[in-house]
Structure 1
Amino acid sequence: MKNHGSLAPKKYSYSEVKRMTKSFSNKLGEGGYGVVYKASLPDGRLVAVKVIRESKGSGEEFLNEVASISRTSHVNIVTLLGFCFERNKGVLIYEYMSNGSLDNFIYKRGSPNAFCTLEWKVLYQVAIGIARGLEYLHRGCNTRILHLDIKPQNILLDEDFSPKISDFGLAKICQKRESIVSILGTRGTIGFIAPELFNRAFGGVSHKADVYSYGMLVLEMVGGRKNYDSGGSQTEEQYFPDWIHKDLEHGKHPASSVVITVEDDEMVRKMTLVSLWCIQTNPFDRPAMSKVVEMLEGPLQSLSVPPKPSLQCPTKSPVTQLSSGSSQEVTRTNSISN
C-alpha cells in the first residue's frame, strides 16, 4: 500500500525554514536528536520541522535519514516533504501528525503525561499498521531498509490513529539479497535492542533485529509500561517478557486487570503471543514481518505459546546500565566482531 503522488523531498534554505516555523516559535517536542516544531508550508500544509542537534562528523546521521526515507512510499511510513542542510544545521520537514507519538498513549499506568488510553481495537490496528510498515521496509521497496530504532517514540499517529514509522537516523540500507549486514558497535535504544546487536555471539545482524524491537514495542503496548522500568528495587525486578510469559502460563495476560470484552481479550492475547515470538533470542526463531502480519490477522487458535526467551535480564548487562531508567539512544563503536 503506497502513498499516492509521492515526490522527492524539496530542499529549503535555512531562512525559508525560519519563516515557515515563525522563527521556531511553536515547539512540539524535544529529544536527544533535537527539537521538533509545528510549522506551515507556503501552500498552507501543516508540517513538523525537526531541527537536528549539531553532531560530530559530517552530519552522517542526518544524511542517512534523508537517503533512506527518500526511498520509501507507504501509508505506514512518515513522508519526508523537505530538508535543509546549511550552516552546519540539519533540518527535516515531515508531514504533520496530529496525535503525536505512540508513547503518549501507551504508558497509561502512573504516567501523568498520557493523553488518554486508546481502545484495544485501536491499539491492535496500530500494531498491524507498524508491522505492515516494517514488512514494506524489509521487502517492499527497491532496497531493503533496516530501521534499527523501532520504539514507541518513533511511531507517529495521524488524526485517525493510523501509525507511521519515523526517525530513520540509525537506519541501514542494504541490497535485498543481503541477509546479514555489517554494523560497527551497537545502535538502537535500550530496552529494544536485539541481542545480536550488542553481542554477535547471538548471531549476525539482519532484518530480524527490527522484528525483535517490534516485539518489545508491542509488549509495551499490552503491558502499558516501559519494558526496562523495574518499578522497584533491583532484587525485586523481573525481566519484562518473563513477567508477561508468567501471566500467560497462568492463563492471564497483562490487561486482565482491566475489564475488557471477549473480542478485546482475543486481540490482546494475539498481540501478546506474536510479540513473544518476535523477541526470541535466536534471530532464526523470530518470524519475518510478513508472517507477523499473517499471525495478527489470523485466528487466535492457530497461535502456539512460544518458548520463554533465555536471555538474562538486560538491566544486568553493561549496555543497559547506561539507561538510568530513561529512553536513551546507544550508538557506540566497540571491539565486537561483525
Structure 2
Amino acid sequence: MYDAVEEFLQSQINLIPIRYSYSEIRKMSKGFKDKLGEGGYGSIYRGKLKSGPLVAIKMLGNSKANGQEFINEVATIGRIHHVNVVQLIGFYAEEPKHALIYEFMPNGSLEKYIFSREESIPISIEKIFEISLGVARGIEYLYRGCDVQILHFDIKPHNILLDENFIPKFSDFGLAKIYPTNDSIVSLTTARGTLGYIALELFYKNIGVVSYKANVYSFGMFPTWVYGQFSKGNDIELEDALEEKKKIVKKMIIVALWCIQMKPSDRPSMKKIVEMLEGEVECLQMPSKPFLSSSPVRPTGDVGDNLNSTSSSFQ
C-alpha cells in the first residue's frame, strides 16, 4: 500500500497540496498535544502553520484501508477548491505514517448541533436552512462542477464541518469514487457508507442502478416520522415560531422526503434540489411515501429531501 501511495503521488503532476516532512508536521502540531478527535481512520490534532492559520491534522493508521483513504482524499479534494468543500492544505506520506492537513473548522461538525441534547449549542432554523442549501450546492458541484464527477458515499452530519461563519464544508472523502462526467452508472462491488445514510440501491440491485442519486438519498436523511405528521395535515411543533420559520421547516422536510424516495429515478437531481430550496414552499408538492411498509431495511436516524412527482423532471 505504501508503494501504491507513492506511485499515486508521483503520477499527480498538478498536485496542489504541499508535501510536508514529519518534523514539520510534528512542529506545527506542537508534538501532537491538542487532540480534536479519534476514529477508525486514526486521530485528528490541532496545528498551526508558520504563516499563522490554524489547521486540523489527520494522522492515518497503518492499515491498507487507510492507505486507500489517503489516496482517495488527495485524489478528490486535492484537485478542487470550492466554498463548500474543506480545503486540503497539505499532506505527509512516508512509511509507516500518513497525514492529511486541512483548514481548521472552528465550529466543528454539523452533527453536534442537530443531534446534541445540550441546550448550550443553539442554532436557528434560518441557519440550518442556510447550511442545508450550502450542502446541496456542494454536492451539485462535486457532480457537475468539476472536470470529473466525485461521489462522496459517506454524506452525513458528522462529515459536514462548519467554519467561523457556519458555512458548511464537506470533509472525509476516504470512501469517495471518481468517475468521468459522462458516466451515469457507478460500478461498485460492495456497499459503502454509514448505515442509516446508505441508499437502498447499494443493497438491492432491483431497485435501480447506483449513480449520483445515492448522494441525493444521503442528503435527504431526516426522521421518517415527519412524513406521517405532514400527511395527516399536522404542523411540526415549533415553540413560538413565526409563520416564516414554519415555512422554512416545511420546505426542508418536503425536499428531504423527495430525496429519500426508494427508487433512484424518483429522486430529484441536486440541481433541482437547489432550485426547490431557493424557491417558495407553496410551489412544492408532497411526494409519495418514501418507504414501502414491507421494506426489509428501513434506515434508522435522519433522512431528508424532495419535489415533483414526475421522475423525468429530476434527471
Question: Tell me, what secondary structure is at the counterpart of 1:275?
Answer: helix
Of 235, 242, 251, the match for 1:270? 251
**8 Å CA contact 2:73, 2:174 repeated in 1:** yes
CA offset digits 1:255-274 (Å, max 9, x no partner) = x1433111110100000000
- Cα gap change, 1:92 to 1:246, in 2 (>3 Å): same
* Percent identity for Structure 1 against Structure 2: 49
- The alignment yields a C-alpha RMSD, in angstroms, of 2.1
- Cα gap change, 1:313 to 1:19, in 2 (>3 Å): farther
CA offset digits 1:18-59 (Å, max 9, x no partner) = 111111100111222221111001211110111122223681
CA offset digits 1:168-227 (Å, max 9, x no partner) = 0000100000000111101000110000112222211110000000001xx2xxxxxxxx
Of 196, 199, 203, the match for 1:194? 199
Higher relative contact order (CA 8 A, sep 6+): 1
The amino acid of 2:83's aligned partner reads V
1:81 correspondence with 2:62: no
1:17 correspondence with 2:56: no
**8 Å CA contact 1:244, 1:253 repeated in 2:** no
Of 247, 255, 264, the match for 2:229? 247
CA offset digits 1:86-120 (Å, max 9, x no partner) = 12222110001110100110014xx34x7512000
Return the TM-score normalized by structure 1.
0.81
**8 Å CA contact 1:71, 1:141 repeated in 2:** no
Gaps of 5+ in 2: 1-14, 302-315
Of 93, 118, 129, the match for 1:124? 129
The amino acid of 2:102's aligned partner reads Y
Hey, what's the Cα distance between the residues in 2 that align with 1:199 and 1:52? 32
Q: Work out the number of aligned pairs and report it.
A: 288
Query: CA offset at residue 143 of structure 1?
Result: 0.4
Aligned positions of 1:1-338 closer than 5 A: 8-56=16-64, 59-108=67-116, 111-112=117-118, 115-216=120-221, 219=222, 240-241=223-224, 243-254=225-236, 256-311=237-292, 317=297
Farther-moved stretch of structure 1 (278-287 vs 10-19): 10-19
Gaps of 5+ in 1: 1-6, 220-239, 326-338
Hey, what's the Cα distance between the residues in 2 that align with 1:272 and 1:73? 30
Hey, what's the Cα distance between the residues in 1 that align with 2:42 and 2:234? 41
Hey, what's the Cα distance between the residues in 2 that align with 1:28 and 1:253? 39
Hey, what's the Cα distance between the residues in 2 that align with 1:82 and 1:120? 35
